[in-house]
Structure 1
Amino acid sequence: MHTMPMTSPETKAADAPRGAETTDAFDEFMRAFEGFREANDERLAQIERRMSADTVTQDKADRLSRAMDEQERRLERLVLKGLRPPVGGASDGAMPEPSEHRSAFESYVRGGDENRIRRLEEKAMSGLAGQDGGFLVPPETETEIGRRLAAVSPIRSIASVRTVSSTVLRKPFAVNGAQTGWVGEADARPQTSAPQLSELSFPTMELYAMPAATAALLDDAAIDLDRWLGEEVEQAFATQEGAAFVTGDGVAKPKGFMTYPTVTEADWAWGKVGTVATGAAGGFLPGLGGDALIDLVYALKGSYRQNATFVMNRRTQSAVRKLKDADGNYLWAPPSVAGGRASLMGFPVVEAEAMPDIAAGAKAIAFGDFARFYLVVDRQGVRVLRDPYSAKPYVLFYTTKRVGGGVQDFDAAKLLAFTV
């Protein structure tokens, strides 16, 4: 006889409110969207009748758009919270058996005992710990930090991510493509010319965070250190790397895709990112915003388009929400489920706050297959240095990881430029 797995009353009590709160937040977001749509329809109707919208109607549409932003941020926080494991370890209530490395690391974090973890690293002959001291976190903690970053870092969530053990990843590519041809079964096979190879280099740079803990927190045996450290560093890491992946200059940080040379799509060449113009400086042409987005979508080759994503900041998305097609249908659609992504013309939308606002000459919207366009390089190992002296009575944890990034396929994404 098949029996259903039992869930403890405590787990049920904890999970039910969390799920109900997320559902309520999603319902409020959808109500805000309906209100915004009605107000924006009224605004557009006024523009058609008398070439301008009433100030009250415009303010109402803007206010409801801001309310949608707030509801969306609240929903994102609740969904992320729902992904976190409960305090104390596994979600089924069973505490996993800690590995030797994890047990030694916990002794170091809680009480500063370096002996066990130092012996482990000497035994493994680890070369990943830097000259500034500190010890590598156990694989469980590194996995937890990586999982959290994937959930909250916008570009990381859609880019390719590769883990390396060296400080630089070098990736060769063929400049002139592979040399191939068609031949019959009995035909001679002519010798192909040697491919011209070049090399992309992705150095990793040090990213750090410094969470602080009280002695009482470290003494509390119920605190899951993997979860605590992951929560403390996730926002610091995600904010810094998220900005660097977009606008980083490559000096002591990854090189962001917006800092590469750009060129109009008609003149595209390898090493540059193609752009499509809206036809108006600092905005969309009246009534033709959808046309500019269609041009952007179809500037991308079909092989890239099927997995493409729009990337823009929240203020740009607020402007795009108001666009309609020739049949009066909104181009932007809200997520269909809590935790899902909004879509624009059927393609998912990812918000990256480091993207520029709409302005004259700004390239405020990116569209492409980011898994093929941008590469994130993580050096294996996250290092923690315990510092109980600098901010007594608090204990600081200087946490570092090495991250790099850059464009790996310049044809896999295009930018929408708000220019004539």
Structure 2
Amino acid sequence: MTIAMKSRARGLVAARADAGSATAILNELRQTFETFKAEREKEIADLKKGLGDVVQSEKVDRINAEITKLQEQLDQVNSSIAALKVGGAGDDKPLAAERREHARAFNQFFRNGAENGLRDLEVKAALRTDSDPDGGFVVPDQMEAAIDRVLGTVSAMRAISRVMSISSGTYKKLVNQGGAVGGWVGERQARPATATPTLVELAFQAMELYANPAATQTLLDDSRVNIEQWLADEVSITFAEMEGASFIIGDGVGKPRGLLSYDTVADTSYAWGKLGYVVSGVAAAMTDSSHNGADALTDLVYSIKQGYRQNARFLMNRKTQAAIRKFKSKTEELYLWQPSIQAGQPATILGYPVTDDDNMPDATAGGNFPIAFGDFQRGYLIVDRMGVRVLRDPFTNKPYVHFYTTCPSSDNLRLIRHF
């Protein structure tokens, strides 16, 4: 059995274990949500009678907080399952001889600094993506897959957006702003010339994300330590935190341009390159008073075209999601937020999936844009430049060995509405 096959087998066991955990959490979440609804109904009934009880309100808030914790646990398990399905647990196919040889040499380099012709092996294994002066060595496939898996687990935007891998420093894409004009004609009527589509070129420049984890030589000498998983775990926290913030509020200078950094306009005045928004009608925390919160969410959903609603989802932080959990529809008096219906699926609002991202602002003041809604697969593109590189540094901070790890990536945004 090859290393890759062992890794895959462990990944499948983890997936089954996660699925079992998800089912248990999901059952507890459903029971807690039913309790929440019953206590919330009692709170509403008391308020209507003018008998508002602080103790009852605090009870509802405690149950709501417990639902938030359970949903967070479920989201983490669901993310792990999804990341394994992407292929981050390894490949079932045996590695080619060149890549297997490169992986062995890289392991020796990582542990004791012996290069052993590693530069030539990169070329043989077709792993070279840029020139020698850039420094460092390209990590083996299994190690890069492990890093991708961990990033896919903890990075909210990476999990819901379109991700593309390139081998050059720039990716260019043509986007059609308006299709060719046509018309209906009879059998013998003339076919006049029509306007041509307007194409806009989008250029994605690769930028560099880095982490610099350290290990003692004693740890590296331990043959039982899984080096690829150790590096993935170490760099993923740094990468995920930096990525997550940039994908929401990044200014595009030496980093990705974030979702909320684009110019916003009222949805009725939407134009290419801008983000349309729908106002909630309240310059303060969103509430269910007079159903203003439910109305705002409904207006938001139907502000975008049907083609973008089909695969659309909500993006918000957990505080906002907890507030919306109390909202009910105006006519049926049904709660807008609903828990997952099965393991591996997210919670929903108005029937659309909800993704949590703590980088989204709170819904507490006017002028904020706390909720995004749209088809992120069509609206936000993350471009990864292939070839995670590692530069080994045993000198700067003895007795620790640092591993300067770089991962080029870039992004662009279009066609998402939010408010």
Structure 1-normalised TM-score?
0.85
Please report how far the alpha carbon of residue 40 of structure 1 lies from its aligned counterpart in structure 2 after TM superposition.
2.0
Report the residue type matching 2:168 in the other structure.
Answer: S
Deviations 1:250-305 (A, max 9, x none): 01110011110111111111111111111221224613221211111111111110
Secondary structure of the structure 2 residue equivalent to 1:349 = strand
Partner of 1:36: 36
Q: Does residue 49 of structure 1 match 2:49?
A: yes
1: CA distance, partners of 2:150 / 2:186: 54
* Partner amino acid, structure 2, of 1:62: D
Report the CA distance between 1:211 and its aligned residue. 2.2
**Residue 180 and residue 142 in structure 1: after superposition, are their counterparts in 2 closer, same or farther (change >3 A)?**
farther
Evaluate the alpha carbon distance shift between residue 91 and residue 200 of structure 1 in structure 2; reply closer, same or farther with a 3 A threshold.
closer
Range 354-363 or range 95-104, more displaced: 95-104
Between structures 1 and 2, the one with greater helix share? 2
Identity of aligned residues (%): 42
CA distance in structure 2 between the aligned counterparts of 1:397 and 1:276, rounded to whole angstroms: 46
User: Is 1:310–1:368's contact at 8 Å kept on the other side of the alignment?
Assistant: yes
1: CA distance, partners of 2:83 / 2:187: 59
Q: Contact conserved, 2:262 with 2:275, CA < 8 A, in 1?
A: yes
Q: Which residue of 2 aligns with 1:414?
A: 417
Q: Aligned partners of 1:15 and 1:166: how far apart in 2?
A: 34
Instruction: For residue 130 of structure 1, report the CA deviation from its aligned partner.
Output: 6.8
Structure 1 residues 386-401: aligned runs within 5 Å:
386-401=392-407
Structure 2 equivalent of residue 101 of structure 1: 102
Q: 1:91 to 1:75 in 2, by over 3 A?
A: farther
Report the alpha carbon displacement of residue 16 of structure 1 after superposing the two structures with TM. 8.4
Change (3 A) 1:222 1:188: farther
User: Equivalent residue for 1:111?
Assistant: 112
Deviates more, 1:222-231 or 1:161-170: 222-231
Q: What per-residue deviation string (whole Å, max 9, x for no partner) do you get for residues 99-139 of structure 1?
A: 12212211111111123212223555935257452111122
Aligned to 2:263: 261
After superposition, the C-alpha distances for 1:220-274 in whole angstroms (9 at most, x for unaligned) are 3233322222222222212211121111110111001111011111111111111
The reply to whether residue 355 of structure 1 matches residue 354 of structure 2 is: no
Structure 2: how far apart are the matches of 1:136 and 1:295?
48
Moved more, 367-376 or 327-336: 327-336
- Once the 2 structures are TM-superposed, how far is the Cα of residue 164 of structure 1 from its aligned partner? 1.4
Indicate the residue corresponding to 2:140 in structure 1: 138
**Superposed displacement of residue 179, structure 1:** 4.1
Aligned partner of 2:169: which letter?
T
CA distance in 2 between partners of 1:127 and 1:318 (Å): 45
CA contact (8 A) 1:204 1:254 kept: no
Q: Is the 8 A contact 1:136 1:382 kept in 2?
A: yes
User: 1:354 deviation in Å?
Assistant: 0.8
Matches within 5 A, 1:236-275: 236-275=238-277
Alignment counterpart, residue 216 of structure 1, candidates 215, 218, 237 = 218
Partner of 1:287 in structure 2? 290
Paired residue secondary structure (1:317): helix
Shift of residue 321, structure 1, vs aligned partner: 0.4
Identify if the C-alpha distance between structure 1 residues 405 and 194 changes in structure 2 by more than 3 Å, giving closer, same or farther.
same
Conservation of the 8 A alpha-carbon contact between 1:375 and 1:407:
yes
Q: Answer yes or no: is the 8 Å Cα contact 2:19–2:343 preserved in 1.
A: no
1:3-402 maps to which residues of 2 (within 5 A)? 21-50=21-50, 53-78=52-77, 99-121=100-122, 126-128=128-130, 131=133, 133-182=135-184, 189-282=191-284, 283-284=286-287, 286-288=289-291, 289-326=293-330, 327-358=332-363, 359-402=365-408
Tell me how far apart the structure 2 counterparts of residues 112 and 388 of structure 1 sit (CA, whole Å). Answer: 8
Measured at CA, do residues 286 and 121 of structure 1 come closer, stay the same or move farther in structure 2, by a change above 3 Å?
A: same
CA distance in 2, matches of 1:25, 1:143: 28
Q: 1:63 to 1:131 in 2, by over 3 A?
A: farther
Q: What is the Cα-based RMSD across aligned positions, in Å? A: 3.1
Q: How far apart, CA to CA, are the structure 2 residues paired with 1:28 and 1:108?
A: 48
Q: 1:82/1:265 Cα in 2 relative to 1: closer, same or farther (>3 Å)? A: closer
Please tell me the residue identity of whatever aligns with 2:67.
M
TM superposition score normalised by structure 2: 0.85
Please state how far the C-alpha of 1:62 moved relative to its aligned partner: 1.7
Alpha-carbon distance in 1 for matches of 2:12, 2:265: 56
**What secondary structure, in the 3-state scheme, does the structure 2 residue paired with 1:115 have?**
coil
Contact 2:287–2:323 under 8 Å retained in 1? no
| SS of equivalent to 2:159 | coil
SS, match of residue 340 in structure 1: coil
CA distance, structure 1, for counterparts of residue 174 and residue 90 of structure 2: 42
Indicate how the Cα distance of structure 1 residues 159 and 185 shifts in structure 2: closer, same or farther if over 3 A, else same.
farther
Q: Give unpaired runs (5+ residues) of structure 2.
A: 1-9
- What are the superposed Cα offsets for residues 81-103 of structure 1, whole Å, 9 maximum, x if unpaired? 67788xxx8799x9998712212
Cα distance in 2 for partners of 1:101, 1:241 equals: 29
How many residue pairs match? The answer is 399
State how far apart, in whole Å, the 1-side matches of 2:304 and 2:169 are. Answer: 33
Task: For residue 120 of structure 1, give the secondary structure of its aligned residue in structure 2.
Answer: helix
